[in-house]
Structure 1
Amino acid sequence: MIKLNFKSGFITIIGRPNVGKSTLLNHIIGEKISIISDKPQTTRNKIQFIHTTENSQMIFVDTPGIHKPKNKLGEFMNKEVSLALADMDVLVWVIDDSMEIGPGDSKILQRLEGINIPKILVINKIDKLSNENISKLVDKFKKRHDFKFIVPISAQRGRNVDTLLESIESLLPEGPKYYPEDMITDQQERIIVAEIVREKTLKYLDQEIPHGIAVETTMMKERKDKDIIDIHSTIYCEKDSHKGIIIGKDGRKLKGIGKSAREDIERFLDIKVNLQLWVKVNKNWREKENLVKRMGYKR
């Protein structure tokens, strides 16, 4: 049954890598579901987030950052972006505090011309900009495209995020509540756990192995006394030399990854976690379509 005047719809989030899309979505839903890292292209799958209020339900579709593909994984990520643009009710384009409209932004602007849905431009990281520069950015993009709204925000601090949500809601059609009101994502727990481990691995490895890793949750089993869950996860890397780097001297890096990931997983699952990590080599998996699919990057 559709509530009178209740609004609902699907909102796709696009943008260049590292502009803060995942930070924004995590802030909106109040949970850390999408991987956050200072390394580009960390969001690999299209992920749905659900934000429900008394008057509306917004289903956000997070996408990988738009980039030029270099391998089968990159091709998959760009395909996900194209699929996410289809059958949406609102498009939200997130940019950062860069003052110039670069080649990447120009390509996105070209793609937007052929998309006939309402569009909102979000200028993120405004805590790094003066009011004068914010106004300059708004004017630059107003001249390039007819956006329904241009909303400057700071996703990290939550500044103006409420204004953004009000703008999105105003563009949604009346519709049903697609998901239960307490549901915040359609992703399976195993996938979220794997993403948390991958995030911590990227953090601890710094620049050593930026993208040649994937994580698979191989087991999740709650103990009979119901007060702890055992989780086994495997970190895959592409080279034998990478395995030693991930493990670290005397296993210190792997222990650090495990401790930090366990703490976040416990907060997400709201239960004590016994996390066991393994590291395995799967050479050049990003170049092999069947391995990309095996790692979970498939429709």
Structure 2
Amino acid sequence: MTHRSGFACFVGRPNAGKSTLTNALVGQKVAITSGRPQTTRHTIRGIVHRADAQLVLVDTPGLHRPRTLLGERLNHLVKDTLTEVDVVGFCLPADQKVGPGDRFIAEQLVQLSRDGRGTPVVAVVTKADLVTKGRLAEHLLAVQQLGEWTDIVPVSAQSGYQVEVLTDVLVSHLPEGPALYPEGELTDEPEQVMVAELVREAALEGVRDELPHSLAVVVEEIVPREDTGDGTPMLDVRVNLYVERDSQKAIIIGRGGARLRDVGSQARRGIEALLGARVYLDLHVKVAKDWQRDPKQLGRLGF
């Protein structure tokens, strides 16, 4: 039996369903998801293991016209990733009309193939469960007119519709080769980055629109606690959340610290599942004024 292995990457404007799709293909949560645009900051790899293939998914931030230095750096990250993968999945949500953002990305992808790389691009129409069959057919036509796509696949990460079909299509574009990662490994993302993403996701739940761009999360340390009293292993996890203004700090902390406590409880459950141990989570909110536009601060916060 022929075995294929290689890298696929999802691109699309912010909030096109890329992270949810990554999780659906892997079968477990490896990428942060949120109803808010621009929640993915790091390239997260999810690994799909099959008897005949290993598909490594690279999840990128949404490609967009940058307005800040952070935006520019995120776009460079995406473009660098596009040049290194075997197949690209261009995500276009079925519940939103094709717009300027999609056309901007389509142009970038066309340019990529003109540069001689010839990377196949599969148009992935996400959130297919949210529209009628008639609306889906219209959307598929509009997507077809955007560019020369190797395949067009409608999917729903929520209902599982055509998720297997999409996996088959992506695998068909991979070169023949052995597995790149050990069986059972689902991501190569360092634990600290995963912990930071879980805290970030919890902090973004139900807050105002201006916050996603302004929130950076840095894990200071993850250390075993020497004496827990009852002998069960416990980890101390210390995390700093950085915002740009005092008003944003107040939003995250909430009245009397109530919101930060909720963030801590929600994040702790995910972190304990990830690390397989009880966790004491120590969260601190700090102001790093206008960090998105400051090269020094961007470097310090890991961008």
Q: Please tell me the TM-score bracket, short chain as reference.
A: over 0.9
Aligned mates of 2:109, 2:251 — CA distance in 1: 42
In the alignment, the residues of structure 1 paired with residue 248 and residue 135 of structure 2 have an alpha-carbon distance, to the nearest angstrom, of: 43
For structure 1, which runs of at least 5 residues remain unmatched after alignment? none
Q: Counterpart of 1:139 in structure 2: which amino acid?
A: L
Q: What's 2:258 paired with?
A: 252
**Secondary structure at the counterpart of residue 212 of structure 2:** coil
Output the CA distance in 1 between the equivalents of 2:259 and 2:36. Answer: 18
Tell me which residue corresponds to 1:235. Answer: 241
Identify unmatched segments of 5+ residues in structure 2: none
Question: Which of 286, 293, 296 is the equivalent residue of 2:299?
Answer: 293
Distance 2:281 2:110 in 1: 47
Encode CA deviations 1:150-173: one digit per residue, 9 max, x unaligned. 111111222210110011111211
Map of 1:213 onto structure 2: 215
Match of 2:131 in 1: 129
Corresponding residue of 1:31? 28
Moved more, 103-112 or 230-239: 103-112
Indicate how the Cα distance of structure 1 residues 128 and 98 shifts in structure 2: closer, same or farther if over 3 A, else same: closer
Choose which of 278, 283, 289 in structure 2 pairs with 1:283: 289
CA distance in structure 2 between the partners assigned to 1:217 and 1:99 by the alignment: 36
Q: CA deviation at 1:88?
A: 1.6
**Aligned mates of 1:293, 1:11 — CA distance in 2:** 28
Could you tell me which of 60, 65, 74 is aligned with 2:62? 65
1:75 aligns with 2:75: no
TM-fit CA distance, 1:174: 0.3
Change (3 A) 1:276 1:98: same
SS of aligned partner of 1:39: coil
Contact 2:92 2:98 in 1 (8 A): no
Report the alpha carbon displacement of residue 243 of structure 1 after superposing the two structures with TM: 2.0
Q: How much does 1:226 deviate?
A: 5.5
In the TM superposition, what is the alpha-carbon distance from 1:143 to its structure 2 partner? 3.4
Name the SS of the counterpart of 2:10 in structure 1: strand
Comparing 142-151 with 153-162, greater Cα deviation is found at: 142-151
The letter for the 2-side match of 1:69 is P
AA in 1 matched with 2:261:
K
CA contact (8 A) 1:204 1:257 kept: no
Closer/same/farther in 2, CA of residues 141 and 211 from structure 1, 3 Å limit: closer
Point out the more displaced range, 179-188 or 132-141: 132-141
Give the Cα separation in 1 of the matches to 2:302 and 2:232.
Answer: 28
Alpha-carbon RMSD across the aligned residues, in angstroms, is 1.6
User: Percent of aligned pairs with the same residue?
Assistant: 38
Aligned length: 294
